[in-house]
Amino acid sequence: MTLAAPLAAPLAGSALVLGSWVAYMATVPSGKVPPKPWGHLAAQAIGGLMAVGGLAGALRGGGGLIAPALLSGTAVTMSGLFFFLYSQRSTPVGEIRVTVGDRLRPFTATTPDGRRFDSASLEGRRVLLKFFRGHW
């Protein structure tokens, strides 16, 4: 067995998983996130399985385990994270308390400079009010 063989599957699995992550995240800034990312889910699953299989092979084959374990661990963790996040995608939309035709519910908030903002100041202005999840 060559030196590279035990590393081939963990390496390929990690490359597949991380490559899919990078490609997926690249769609975020432009707002072109795929609604049903089947290709990514397949890549994540196959990459994760390759990593697990590769690690199992490395365990059976003896020899160095640190590199296969690190690579496979990364691939499996990142693949699991992808599936976990995808499973968390739905948002509770049914609880909104305003509807089209309603008046704005008066509110106050704080500006980034720490000043108080009152929605009364929006009177006479056309506004696109975005509720968003926060910075990241």
Partner 1 sequence: MAEQGVEIIALSKDTPQDAALHRERDGLSLQLLADPNLDVIRDYGLEHHKAVEFSTGRFTLLGIPLALVPSLKTMAVPTTLLIDEQGVIRWIDQTDDYRLRSAESRILAEIRRTFG
Q: List residues near partner 1 by CB under 8 A.
A: 31, 33, 35, 81, 84-85, 88-93, 95-105, 107-114, 117, 122-136
* 40, 20 contact by CB (below 8 A): yes
Backbone torsion region of residue 88, taken as left when φ is above 0, otherwise alpha when ψ lies between -120 and 50, otherwise beta? alpha
**CA end-to-end span of the chain:** 46
Closer to partner 1 by CB, 62 or 101: give it: 101
Residue 8 CB, shortest distance to partner 1, in Å, is: 27
Residue 77 CB, shortest distance to partner 1, in Å, is: 11
Inter-helix orientation angle 66-87/5-25, to 10°: 30
Closer to partner 1 by CB, 62 or 132: give it: 132
Residue 41 CB, shortest distance to partner 1, in Å, is: 13
**CA distances, 116 to each of 60, 94, 113, 121 (Å):** 65, 30, 9, 11
* 83, 101 contact by CB (below 8 A): no
Residue 94 CB, shortest distance to partner 1, in Å, is: 9
Closer to partner 1 by CB, 3 or 128: give it: 128
Closer to partner 1 by CB, 62 or 92: give it: 92
